[in-house]
Amino acid sequence: MVVRRVLVAIALLVPLGLAACGNDEPDKADAAPTAAPASSSPPPEPFVFEVGPVAGTKGLPITAEVETRVSGGKVTTVTLVDDKGKNIGGELRADGTTWVPGAPLEYNRTYTASVTAAATNGTPETKTTTFSTMARPGGGKVGSGLYLFNGKTYGTAMPVAVEFESDIPEAARASVARRLFVKSEPAQAGRWHWHSSRMVLYRPEQYWKPGTTITVRSALTGLPIGAKWGDTDRSATVKIADRSLVMDVDNATKKMRVLVNGQLVREMPVSLGKPSTPSSSGQLVVMEKAEQTVFDTRATDGPDGYRVDIQYAQRLTWGGEYIHSAPWSVKDQGVRNVSHGCVNLAPDQARWLFEQTMIGDAVIVRGTERVLQHGNGWTAWDVPWEKYGV
């Protein structure tokens, strides 16, 4: 089943001896010298403090950051002012290596950064540097999109998904990912991983904790990407649902188990893809939902194609695998697989499920003839954590 992919570009969207008292003539044992006790703590780390870019640097991209190299202390304040006296807001990276402006810098401008750091003993020091940005470049831009809608709520398996309209060269992917910022409350460490040359996904080690707030910034405006440039900045703040819902589909039993907060709430018979068009086994995510839609494969499948109205459709892959209502296969559900790769449910079951789920909910399919293809959908959870990373 082929359903047109739409790149969602939403204003969203990203490295320190004792003196004895006694007789005038003490005995020899008492007179023996006493060794000084060994120190129980190492000496403090030397305070080293440098800033960047190097003063006088010119032609920097507007994604330039203020470098804050400190050991034996920590940065306390950073200010950035342009040549018109305008203050630029921003914040330190979590690793303290740079200070990131909160918005793109302007082309062909000069900036002065002042950085104050304090040694471990509290002594402060301030250093400044001045640099200039490049003129507006020519050449094409790399279009990007962020699959998050500001203010919306998503399931606990929702990855932060950034997609690009053209291939990102492998040599540029680390610098692109470094300009993608994610914060979560409560804090949950995560990683970016490239699932294709056009898709990078961020996730924590386990599903998001219910009730988490996620703030994302895709800060790509003017970023050099091969021979092109990043198109724009995007940002979004979203919520994760206050419950965890997982749909667990087992080909051996031809059943779907729906678990909410780890508890089984319903079990339903299903029919999966027949041997010639098997469903994909793996860890998937609900990518979009449509109460009513049309599947039309005639353009790609020719005489074998079909057009059919579908209800309660929940997309799982870019290749066209869905969970949906299938009244024509009710007699097969729980018994045999007859679909073109989708997970078929009876109409009443499909409607009930549709009303419980949201985009970002987890789906696990087990035991089919096909393994989920890397990047065919939001396949973040199908990659083991030890292999997850840019």
Please tell me whether residues 371 and 268 are part of one structural domain: yes
Q: Which residues are catalytic?
A: 324, 342
Does 191 reside within a domain? yes
Q: What is the mean pLDDT of residues 1-21?
A: 35
Domain boundary among 186, 207, 240: 240
Does 205 reside within a domain? yes
Please tell me whether residues 235 and 281 are part of one structural domain: no
Does 111 reside within a domain? yes
Can you give the three-state secondary structure of 168-209, one letter per residue? CCHHHHHHHHHCEEEEEECCCCEEEEEEECCEEEEEECCCCC
- Report the pLDDT value the prediction gives residue 37, as an integer from 0 to 100: 55
Please tell me whether residues 378 and 249 are part of one structural domain: yes
- Report the pLDDT value the prediction gives residue 45, as an integer from 0 to 100: 82
Domain boundary among 240, 265, 286: 240
Q: Which long-range contacts (CB under 8 A, 24 or more apart) does 93-100 make?
A: 93/15, 95/15, 96/68, 96/70, 97/15, 97/67, 97/68, 97/69, 98/15, 98/65, 98/66, 98/67, 98/68, 99/65, 99/66, 99/68, 99/75, 100/65, 100/181, 100/219
Please tell me whether residues 104 and 146 are part of one structural domain: no
Full domain range(s) for residue 61: 48-133
Q: How many domains does the chain have?
A: 3
Beta carbons within 10 angstroms of residue 371's beta carbon: 11
Residue 318, domain CATH = 2.40.440.10
Please tell me whether residues 189 and 288 are part of one structural domain: no
Q: What is the mean pLDDT of residues 149-166?
A: 98
Does 33 reside within a domain? no
Q: What is the mean pLDDT of residues 301-325?
A: 90
pLDDT band at 20 (very low <50, low <70, confident <90, very high): very low
Residue 74, domain CATH = 2.60.40.3780
The encoded tokens of residue 226 equal 């091969």
Tokens 């540029």 label which residue? 172
User: β-strands 228-230, 141-142: how paired?
Assistant: parallel
Q: What is the mean pLDDT of residues 174-179?
A: 97
Q: What is the mean pLDDT of residues 36-52?
A: 76
Domain boundary among 73, 108, 133: 133
- Report the pLDDT value the prediction gives residue 373, as an integer from 0 to 100: 97
The residues that bridge with 324 in the sheet, in sequence order, are 344
Does 4 reside within a domain? no
Please tell me whether residues 266 and 298 are part of one structural domain: yes
Q: What is the mean pLDDT of residues 333-348?
A: 97
Residue 225, domain CATH = 2.60.40.3710
- Report the pLDDT value the prediction gives residue 298, as an integer from 0 to 100: 76
Q: What is the mean pLDDT of residues 178-189?
A: 98
Does 81 reside within a domain? yes
Does 37 reside within a domain? no
Does 3 reside within a domain? no
